[in-house]
Amino acid sequence: MAHVVILGGGFGGLAAAHELRTHHADIEVTLLDRKDHFYMGFAKLWDLGHVRPLADGTRSLANLANRGVRFLQTEITALDPSARIVETSEGTLEADAILVALGAAKSQRHLGFLNSQGAHDLYDGVQLPAIHADLDALTEGRILISILGGPFQCPPAPYEAALLVDERLRERGVRDKVELAVSTPQPMALPVAGADASRYLAGYLGERGIDLLSEKKVTGVDGATRTVGFDDGSTCDYSLLLGVPACAALTLLAEAGLTGESGFIEPDRHSLRTDYERVYAVGDSTHIPTATGALPKAGVFAAGEAVVAAGNIAADLVGSAEARFDGHGFCFLELPGRRVAFVEGNFYAEPKPQVELTDADEDQFLRKQAYETERLDAWLG
Ligand SMILES: Cc1cc2nc3c(=O)[nH]c(=O)nc-3n(C[C@H](O)[C@H](O)[C@H](O)COP(=O)(O)OP(=O)(O)OC[C@H]3O[C@@H](n4cnc5c(N)ncnc54)[C@H](O)[C@@H]3O)c2cc1C
């Protein structure tokens, strides 16, 4: 029986495993990950905003066995894409096809910035208890949420975090004594979704008294004085700094010769094939160009690409129909009061991505919850 090895049990890896299992019982699937669990990125923000504890959105990767997928918790140490051989801490695996869905690393420089007094990595679930403790202790000063560089995961998430933190401070009755700001090196809040979506989001930030510091690239953090320095020479004091590190290429993939000039894997944007036969790549491990930049590093794209890559792996191995990724993607933009706006579009459109925004309401918050539940149940139920 043909054997597919999926590297990574995140958004992309799980979506691909589910697709292969649902439509191709004649293909053996093994999924490798160093972690033993999965949760969606936005589950961290729900924890941050006291919407729901992270544990409630977490599922065990051991549940893959219920779906007929072999799961191996292991560290992937090397990859030979020509021979389709994977080296792991548990031994060597050979595959008829490989899907790389290993996500991205984080900029070491930015992690260094966040190793400062009063600073945390907003995107690291492990740091949530420390962030909660600092937020609860804060009665005055300034919270700075800082996008440290690009590309970074889920472009709206830092702003969603700011709005959730704003709500928390209001609930505690200290909002009028705590300033809240988001800094970004970009010229507007959401360039990837366009000027209208950026204005829409900026409107909510303004309404809530959250300062948007655009075109501010962080050059350093001084933990002793709790000061962030920007490339235009200006500085910003903080009581609490919640930083978003840029994504970086995984050394393992560069060493395997899989990465291109962008530093990430650059597969064909419609088939997700790499230059190596029966080796595919999806999600945050990739750089996929669009007319104005690149696809955002987001779970919905990783999952959409993974379904297509799984289809094409099956086409290679058992001769089923080929699949094609059309650049369609969406985002549930979380706004105050358990309301969600929906941003959706064709990111492959020319001369620029065509993105539409549906105004926020409570129904779309329920839709976001259902999106998560349906996938967790299907992938890991
Ligand atoms: C706070 C936050 C909010 C977010 N909100 C959203 C949202 O609302 N919508 C959205 O679409 N996206 C969102 N995202 C982004 C989303 O989480 C990522 O884009 C998505 O997870 C990428 O999927 P992936 O499969 O490429 O990689 P990942 O999901 O990161 O999976 C990669 C897996 O590979 C494993 N791995 C890596 N290296 C090795 C190795 N050497 N050995 C073994 N295992 C390894 C990792 O443990 C990991 O499980 C959010 C992210 C964050 C941080």
pLDDT in tens, 230-252: 999 999 999 999 999 999 989 99
Last residue within a domain, chosen from 328, 344, 367: 328
CA of 43 to the centre of ligand 1 (A): 12
pLDDT tens for each residue of 161-193: 999 999 999 999 999 999 999 999 999 999 999
> Is 16 part of a structural domain of the chain?
yes
> Is 33 part of a structural domain of the chain?
yes
Nearest Cα neighbor of 48 from 245, 344, 334 is 334
Residues 52, 334: Cα–Cα separation, whole Å? 14
pLDDT tens for each residue of 313-341: 999 999 999 999 999 999 999 999 999 99
79 lines ligand 1 (CB under 6 A): no
Over residues 133-155, the mean pLDDT reads: 98
- Per DSSP, what are the bridge partners of residue 79? 86
Whether 184 and 298 share a structural domain:
no
Instruction: Provide the pLDDT for residue 217.
Output: 97
Whether 37 and 112 share a structural domain:
no
The rounded mean pLDDT for the chain is 97
> Is 334 part of a structural domain of the chain?
no
Over residues 58-76, the mean pLDDT reads: 98
> Is 349 part of a structural domain of the chain?
no
**pTM of this structure:** 0.97
Whether 184 and 240 share a structural domain:
yes
pLDDT tens for each residue of 5-26: 999 999 999 999 999 999 999 9
Instruction: Provide the pLDDT for residue 338.
Output: 95
> Is 63 part of a structural domain of the chain?
yes
Over residues 18-39, the mean pLDDT reads: 97
Nearest CA to ligand 1 atom 17: 41
CA of 153 to the centre of ligand 1 (A): 8
pLDDT tens for each residue of 262-314: 999 999 999 999 999 999 999 999 999 999 999 999 999 999 999 999 999 99
Return left, alpha or beta for 178; rule: phi > 0 is left, psi -120 to 50 is alpha, else beta: beta
Q: How confident is the model at residue 381 (pLDDT cuts 50, 70, 90)?
A: very high
Residues 311, 331: Cα–Cα separation, whole Å? 24
Tokens standing for residue 21: 């299992």
297 lines ligand 1 (CB under 6 A): yes
CATH value at residue 183: 3.50.50.60
Atom of ligand 1 nearest to the CA of 14: 25
164 lines ligand 1 (CB under 6 A): no
Instruction: Provide the pLDDT for residue 82.
Output: 98
Instruction: Provide the pLDDT for residue 358.
Output: 96
Residues 107, 104: Cα–Cα separation, whole Å? 10
> Is 344 part of a structural domain of the chain?
no
Question: In this structure, which long-range contacts are made by residues 351-357, counting pairs with CB atoms below 8 Å and at least 24 apart in sequence?
Answer: 351/291, 352/194, 352/291, 352/292, 353/192, 353/193, 353/194, 353/290, 353/291, 353/292, 353/327, 355/193, 355/194, 355/197, 357/193, 357/196, 357/197, 357/200, 357/333
> Is 333 part of a structural domain of the chain?
no
Whether 124 and 191 share a structural domain:
yes
List the domain range (segments joined by +) for residue 237.
107-246
CA of 209 to the centre of ligand 1 (A): 31
> Is 343 part of a structural domain of the chain?
no
Instruction: Provide the pLDDT for residue 151.
Output: 97
Over residues 132-148, the mean pLDDT reads: 98
Sort strands 91-94 and 85-88 into parallel, antiparallel or unpaired. antiparallel
33 lines ligand 1 (CB under 6 A): yes
155 lines ligand 1 (CB under 6 A): no
